[in-house]
Structure formats: C-alpha cells, structure tokens
A and B are shown apart, each in its own frame.
Chain A
Amino acid sequence: DQQVKQNSPSLSVQEGRISILNCDYTNSMFDYFLWYKKYPAEGPTFLISISSIKDKNEDGRFTVFLNKSAKHLSLHIVPSQPGDSAVYFCAASTARDDKIIFGKGTRLHILP
C-alpha cells in the first residue's frame, strides 16, 4: 500500500509560469515531509521540507504547502525556469525512525 502518492507521472509548464506538484499521503503519523529533485544520471538532491506543525515553508522560488486535514502537500515553483526540468520526489517520515518513504515521482518539463 502506497503511503506517499504522486498521482501525476508528468507535468509540462511554460517557462515563467507557476509549476504545482502535488502529493498525497495516507499515514497520519508522518511528521516531516520533504521534496527531492533528481536529474538524469544523478542522485536525488534535497530541495525543501516542512514539519507537520507548519502549513507553509518558503525558500526562494520554492514553496511547500501542507494541508494536514486533507493529507495533501504541494510544491510550488514560481517562476519556473528551464533548469527546473527534472523528476521531483515527494517524501515523508515519522519521528520514530530515520527512514524516508518516497513517492513515485513526477517528471516536470519546463517548456520554452
């Protein structure tokens, strides 16, 4: 059973516009959520995170929103740039251990 779901395998967005990547989770015990970015032939790199006690975290062009009642989080990228084209993984963890549960990823294409 997937605990972290990214239902959109891919997303195309015009350069300069806002990219919104969505993620749903089922485990209410998750207390920390992360987004990772991955380019082909490279390992994932950490992008931004949010604690379950917050509903928003912002870092430059990247903002993550958390809606605990809906068990939903989203990553907003604005404005989108060509270098943002990558696979984005949503991930979650609990305080009990150091494991991270990853979603299947969403491939973002930024169109010129």
Chain B
Amino acid sequence: DVKVTQSSRYLVKRTGEKVFLECVQDMDHENMFWYRQDPGLGLRLIYFSYDVKMKEKGDIPEGYSVSREKKERFSLILESASTNQTSMYLCASSSPSAGGPYYEQYFGPGTRLTVT
C-alpha cells in the first residue's frame, strides 16, 4: 500500500512567517506534487517534481517554493505567509512503474493551513 504522509494535519501561522510543509512517500515514486484545494476552485497544482532536485511550476506557483533533496521527500515553502494562502494543502506522488494506472496519483491526508 502506498503511503503519503504530511507533517501536520492542522497549522496556524501568522502573516509574514516562513512556513514549511513536509511530505514523505514510502513507495519510491519518481513524481511528487503539491496542490491546494479551495471551495469552488477544486485542486490547483502549485509545483511538481519529476526527480530529486528537479522542480516544475504548476498553475499557481506565486508565493511558493519547493525543495526535493531526497526522492521520498518534497517540501513546500511559503516564504512569507499571507492570509490568501489559507487553504488545504495536498501532497501527492505517482510513478510510471507503480503497477497501477499510469497517471494515478496517491494523495496524503492534507494540511489545513490558516494564516492569521
């Protein structure tokens, strides 16, 4: 069973703080993704990574950065948190060799971030 874990389920931060969201997967997947989910907007891709030290911008990268120093870990960084970054953040992973449907992504439980 693929397991994707996220460091926190709930997080409250102040405006201007630097925020780190951590994601770890245990299935040796090459691909990792960060999304945010907002009511009425669905899942929007922030950043993704195809391999260690590689990153690609998604649809809404502004205000975020990422880090992938190890294959199993993908970090999302909010350099200076703002109230409009209050959201549910979801991490996912996938692999062409996972054995399931090629494009299936496995999601973590999410981190509900509130910026006050």
Interface residues in B, total, Cβ within 8 A: 30
Assess whether B104 is in contact with A41, with CB atoms less than 8 Å apart.
Answer: no
The total number of A-B Cβ pairs within 8 Å is 58
Chain B residue contacts of A100, Cβ below 8 A: 103, 105
Q: Digit string of A52-94 for contact with B (CB within 8 Å is 1, else 0)?
A: 0000000000000000000000000000000000000100010
Range class of the A interface residue count: 20 to 34
| Interface residue? B99 (CB, 8 A) | no
A46 and B106 contact, CB distance less than 8 A: yes
A residues within 8 A CB of B44?
A: 102
Interface residue ranges, A against B (CB under 8 Å): 6, 9, 32, 34, 41-46, 49, 89, 93, 98-100, 102-105
Most A C-beta atoms less than 10 A away, residue of B44, B103, B106: B103
6 pairs of A and B residues whose beta carbons are closest in the complex = A43-B107, A104-B42, A102-B43, A93-B103, A49-B101, A44-B107
Distance of A105 Cα from B107 Cα, bound (Å):
16
